[in-house]
Chains A and B, each alone.
Chain A
Amino acid sequence: MTRFVLRRIAQTIPTLIGISIAAFLLVRLTGDPAALMLPPEASQEAIDAFNVKFGLDQSLPVQYWKFIAAVVTGDLGTSIRFNMPVWDLFVDRMPATVELAAAAMSIALVVGLPAGIVAGLKNRSWADAVIRFFAFLGQAVPGFYLGLMLIVIFAVQLRWLPTGGRGTWQQLILPSVTLAAYLIALLVRFTRGAVLDTKRQLHITTARSKGLSSWLILRSHILKNSMIPIITIIGLQVGAVLSGTVVTEVVFNWPGIGRMMVDAIYTRDFPVVQAMVMIVAVIFIVVNLIVDIAYSFFDPRIRRD
């Protein structure tokens, strides 16, 4: 197990290097990083100082090395707009995004899991048809559109909930439902498939022929065996959630890292864009790593290859 974990951690290193190269090149490829990374009114001295600091007169490999050295020591650059370290901005905004993502994932589990189980157990029933219809719909609706339509109905027409912002629990409802919709749809389709697959396996037939009650079969045989792939799928959706928060945060004026990034783009605050690409990718990799390790813990067969 330890060997597997170590190997899996080692495997992330090339990925991390690749991501850092991509983030590095993203800004360099446009030609003049100083023009991107410094404010437009920057003085010639400031431009020269920037060029010396990052060695822009030197070869690309040397530049990359300096970039990595800065990142490793925790220097992710300085926001042009706020004139403070990007890392501090990130720490400031992250809790809002975590709150939103956690709420959305909880909603997705509470709604999607039971719906998927029902659809799988009663497949080809009317309940299955209704659940699948909504799952298809959930995957086809753009997050920003769903968010706006929820605002039209619940904030503008019914006036039950606020249109945006963060602070009260009422403000959390619409954005988290918006973000959860796609996850619910995915979870339903996946859980349904996993339950259907398990249902057909031999040990279920055996359990039935032993005369076990349906509830016991459902709980100790079907659900237990369907859980592993379902947990994995949830973990692997972190990327989708991170992408989804960008749009959701913009629609609901939610002060998280997604909106921070979009704002940074509009204001051409490129040090923030560059750093956010790296931070988000690293979060994604770490979560994937944890999911992989957890998965191998539940299913020892994975560790073999």
Chain B
Amino acid sequence: MVERQTRSQSSSTSVARKRWPLTALASGVVLLFVVLMAFWPHGWLPNDPIQIEPALRFLPPGFMEGGDPQYWLGTDVLGRDIFGQMIAGARASLLIVVSAALLSLIIGVAAGLVAGHFGGRIDSVMMRLVDVQLAFPVLVLIIAVVAVFGPSIPNLILVLALASWATYARLVRGLVLSLKEQEYIDAAWASGASHGAVLIRHYLPNVATSIVIFTTFELARLLLVEAALSFLGLGVQPPTPSWGRMISEARNYLFEAWWASALPGALIVATVLAFNLLGDEFRDRLDPHRDKA
């Protein structure tokens, strides 16, 4: 154990000096842009994203022949500005994905801490629940729930969170089991700490890094699920703009107007890619358990 600690210390100091690679920096810029798009008021947009203009149907992007610079990414089947919809679509997507990730994190981490710490019957019941949860193909489960309860934003957040807590629980439980034998946990007990104190003050900080890394990947995955739901018409409902629905609405006009589906899709790819690349970078930097040979 002593050997492992010294090794991870020396490697973490050498990693701290490592420069951030270009991919990670670019990912950061993309995410910053998406977050700004989501939270900045939309008053600066050249056109109202939900304004329907039948006369402007399928205007090509400004850089193409016949395009209008005012609609520089073109318009969709109802003549709505694609650039504006892409910006406005970030809001609902991020709201749903980030809230769902936080909610599943809270449920899953609490379940994992309790299961790993107390063990015994609580642990077996909890892990069976996790098994049941993980046995459902996620998209099928979510589709069914949304179909029955309706696709409001709170429903979407709830169902995505309920479909995602189990992996957190399993991850945290495993980490707690491995921490249990550590001397400082023994020391905490010996100094008379309560269950709550051991859980919050000693286990939680030591699993936090792994949670952060995992959450970064989780955001990417949730974004894909949310996009798929919107594509199937089970996500955010009109008129609120959504990336997945933009693609779905344009799918019957691929021949006339490829941009109406290609551009919002490219934004989804860029955002998911950014989360994944950043997650990889976090893992390389932060995870002390990872062999860096």
Contacts and interface: CB of A to CB of B under 8 A. Distances in A.
Interface of A: 11, 14-15, 18-19, 22, 26-27, 29-30, 36, 136-137, 139-145, 148-149, 151-152, 156, 200, 239-240, 242-244, 246-247, 250-251, 261-262, 265-266, 270, 273-274, 276-277, 280-281, 284-285, 288
A142 B231 contact: yes
Nearest to A247: B228
A251 B251 CA distance: 9
A18 B132 contact: yes
Most buried by B among A26, A27, A142, A262: A142
B254 A148 contact: yes
A144 B144 CA distance: 19
Interface in B88-126: none
Interface string B173-199: 000000000000000000000000000
Interface of B is mostly: helix
A142 B227 contact: yes
Given A136-B273, A200-B293, A247-B231, A284 B137 contact: yes
B139 interface: yes
A273 B144 CA distance: 7
Given A136-B276, A285-B135, A148 B265 contact: yes
B254 A250 contact: no
Interface of A is mostly: helix
Contacts of B211: none
B128 A30 contact: no
A11 B145 CA distance: 26
Which range contains the number of B residues in contact with the other chain? Answer: 35 or more
A246 B265 contact: no
B143 interface: yes
Contacts of B222: none
Nearest to B226: A142
A193 to B, nearest CB: 11
B87 interface: no
B269 A141 contact: yes
Given A144-B231, A156-B255, A277 B224 contact: no
A280 B139 CA distance: 11
B161 interface: no
A167 B71 CA distance: 42
Interface in B232-263: 232-234, 244, 247-248, 251, 254-255, 258, 261-262
B137 A243 contact: yes
Contacts of A144: 227-228, 231, 244, 247-248
Contacts of A277: 136, 140-141, 144
26 contacts: A11-B131, A14-B132, A15-B135, A26-B144, A26-B148, A136-B276, A137-B273, A139-B272, A140-B224, A142-B244, A142-B272, A143-B228, A144-B248, A148-B251, A148-B265, A152-B258, A156-B254, A156-B258, A239-B137, A246-B140, A265-B147, A273-B148, A274-B144, A277-B144, A280-B137, A284-B135
Nearest to B150: A30
Nearest to B293: A200
Contact of B262 (A27, A29, A149, A284): A149
Contacts of A274: 144
Contact of B139 (A18, A29, A151, A243): A243
A288 B272 contact: no
A239 B138 contact: yes
B147 to A, nearest CB: 4
Interface in B202-237: 220, 224, 227-228, 231-234
